[in-house]
Structure 1
Amino acid sequence: MAFKTSSTPRSKEGKVEVTMDEFKRWLKKFDDNGDGQISVEELREAIRATGGWFSTAKASRIFKSVDTKSKGFIDDSQIPMLQLFAQKQFGLKIVA
């Protein structure tokens, strides 16, 4: 699922609407090693898949702001923080 498609439902504000489960499933597609966690490299690939392009330094800063446990990966407990970033940067509206 790419977020910027014409077939994806949109809110009144024009934001792409996805459920949290859809967002998680989409994000898990970038979990290249299948460990259930997202690394900074995997996050960078996810950002690129949406048409976004961040420098390595900016992707690393985003990652560090979400990786509050400083473990070097984003796990399921940190996805809500990533959701806030995605809503702001990608024009998403994550619905229940």
Structure 2
Amino acid sequence: MLLLKRFPDQRNARPGVRMTRQEFMQWLKNVDLNGDGLISKEELMNALKALGLSWTWWKARRALARADLDKNGYINGSKEEEALADFFTEQWGIVFT
């Protein structure tokens, strides 16, 4: 799994991690391990764990609750991907350039 950058953990947050939206969207494609076009809580949890974050089950659940606009249990579609990007910015200080 290709991971672009390490996102800061809230416990030791480093504000201002920068990447383009395109880099983030590519990261999301890599999160979708089975290639079905949907990002499940488990896939997101594994990706966050690979980034070195702790409490990944809780963080994935919170991210999914915020970004899963149609409440089907998955991140799917550009609106939900944008909502996830906004959540990561708010929670972990990701800055999109």
> If the TM-score is normalised by the length of the shorter chain, which range does it land in?
0.7 to 0.9
- Residue number in structure 2 paired with 1:81: 83
Tell me, yes or no, if the aligned pair for 2:66 and 2:87 is still in contact at 8 Å: no
For residues 85 and 43 of structure 2, the distance between their equivalents in structure 1, rounded to whole angstroms, comes to: 16
Q: Residue 48 of structure 2 contacts residue 56 of structure 2 at CA under 8 Å; is this kept in 1?
A: no
Aligned residues: 88
1:59 alignment partner, SS class: helix
Give the partner amino acid of 1:83: A
CA RMSD of aligned residues (A): 2.3
1:89 to 1:33, Cα distance in 2 relative to 1, 3 A: same
TM-score by length of 1: 0.75
Q: Quote the sequence identity (%).
A: 34
Equivalent-residue separation in structure 1 for 2:30 and 2:69 (angstroms): 22
Q: What is the alpha-carbon distance in structure 2 between the residues aligned to residue 25 and residue 87 of structure 1?
A: 16
Q: What are structure 2's unaligned runs of at least 5 residues? A: 8-13
Instruction: Look up the match of 1:3.
Output: 5
Q: CA deviation at 1:58?
A: 4.5
Query: For 1:37-57, what per-residue CA distance to the aligned partner results, in whole angstroms no more than 9, with x for missing partners?
Result: 211111111222222122534
Name whichever of 54-63 and 17-26 sits farther off.
54-63
The runs of at least 4 consecutive aligned structure 1 residues that moved more than 3 Å come to none
Of stretches 85-94 and 37-46 in structure 1, the one that deviates more from structure 2 is: 85-94
Q: Which has the larger radius of gyration?
A: 1
More helix by share: 2
Q: Kindly state the Cα deviation for residue 21 of structure 1 after the two structures are TM-superposed.
A: 1.0
Given that 2:15 and 2:92 are in contact with CA atoms closer than 8 Å, whether structure 1 keeps it comes out as: no
